Amino acid sequence: MDWMESFINEKLQESAELKRTMAESMIDTIKEAAEAVIGAIRAGGKVLLCGNGGSAADSQHIAAEFVGRFRFDRKAMPAIALTTDTSILTAVGNDYGYDEVFRRQVEALGHKGDVLIGISTSGRSPNVLRAMEEAKKQGMITIALIGGKRCPMSEISDIIVQIPTEDSPRIQEGHMTFGHILCDLVEKSISQQSE
């Protein structure tokens, strides 16, 4: 086995081991997050999502699965990624600073009973933290997707989805594993209710 094959094998094994650890330690947390989202949607609420960089892409990915479809055709579910409107992002960033780009959107779009999913590998992103704080003021349910270290987001969130590693690529893989399971659970539950 040459060094590239060895490296690939090592990374795949690391990823597989993370999923095994998640299965051993995170089932209750994932279920709690799914129940919060299901409850919000059934009550007429919505899901807002935010994050930076790869976490922005994850926000958009999860929102797309809710609004579009995950495994089967069904009624669209309300979800908005706060990372996509370049006019809002640049106007708020220019006028108020980058730390406010998500908070202002939560202030404008969030309502009591909605859910905000804040995604940050470090759990320290100032703009995500401010969005979470605003969501709490609005009476929203907050779900933090973070990595293995204690962080400011873990102090202010209702539900903490803490991926048990400090390696950023593995944290991001864990976040999307959570996202796919969440979408699966919510889609199944909401669809069963409407049958």
Range with lowest mean pLDDT among 105-109, 147-151, 172-176: 147-151
Distance between CA 138 and CA 120 in Å, rounded? Answer: 21
Q: Would you call 41 exposed, middle or buried from its count of C-beta atoms within 10 A (0-12, 13-18, 19+)?
A: buried
What confidence tier does 194 reach under pLDDT thresholds 50, 70, 90? Answer: low
Tens digits of residue pLDDT in 1-28: 799 999 999 999 999 999 999 999 999 9
pLDDT reading at 77 higher than 70? yes
Is residue 128 within 8 A of residue 51, CB to CB? The reply is yes
Helical H segments across 68-163, by residue range: 86-96, 103-109, 126-138, 152-156
Mean pLDDT of 130-146: 98
Domains of the chain: 3-194 (3.40.50.10490)
Is residue 121 within 8 A of residue 55, CB to CB? The reply is yes
